[in-house]
């Protein structure tokens, strides 16, 4: 079962990367939505802008990876703890 699930995961990942319509920009879907909004209502002006924006793309990716790292740390720490605790119970 686990093998099947993992193979599905790998296939989907490959699919996502190769079924690429050539020459696309890999922009965020939210940027495309912005464009769609401008098409529907060319007069719309965003009425609020972010209170703080990452000063550069590097800092933005840093903060995104920090977010992922926090999550991965929580998951990894507790899965290891549960596994060890189970081991100790059975010993």
Partner 1 sequence: MHIMEGFLPAEWCAAWYTFSIPVVVYGAWIVRKRIDANPGAKSLLAVAAGFVFVLSALKLPSVTGSCSHPTGTGVAVVLFGPAATAFISVIVLFYQALLLAHGGLTTLGANTASMGIIGPFAGWLVYKAIRRFGLKTAVFAAAAVADWVTYVVTSFQLALAFPANPSLAGVIESTMKFMAIFAVTQIPLALMEGVVAALLVSYLVEVREDVAEVVAA
Q: Which residues make up the interface to partner 1 (CB under 8 A)?
A: 1-2, 5-6, 8-9, 12-13, 15-17, 19-21, 23-34, 36-37, 40-41, 44, 46-54, 60, 63-65, 67-68, 70-75, 78-79, 81-83, 85-86
From 13, 28, 22, 32, select the one nearest 61 (Cα to Cα). 28
Q: Which long-range contacts (CB under 8 A, 24 or more apart) does 22-25 make?
A: none
For the CB of residue 77, give the shortest distance to partner 1 in the complex, in Å: 8
Answer whether 44's CB lies under 8 Å from 37's CB: yes
Strand, coil or helix: 48: coil
For the CB of residue 3, give the shortest distance to partner 1 in the complex, in Å: 11
52 versus 91: smaller Cβ distance to partner 1: 52
């Amino acid at each position: 079962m686990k093998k099947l699930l993992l193979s599905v995961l790998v296939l989907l990942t490959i699919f996502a990367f190769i079924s690429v319509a050539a020459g696309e920009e890999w922009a965020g879907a939210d940027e495309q939505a912005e464009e769609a909004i401008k098409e529907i209502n060319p007069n719309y002006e965003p009425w609020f802008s972010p209170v703080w924006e990452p000063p550069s793309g590097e800092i933005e990716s840093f903060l995104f990876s920090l977010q992922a790292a926090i999550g991965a740390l929580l998951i990894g720490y507790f899965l290891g703890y549960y596994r060890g605790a189970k081991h100790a119970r059975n010993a």
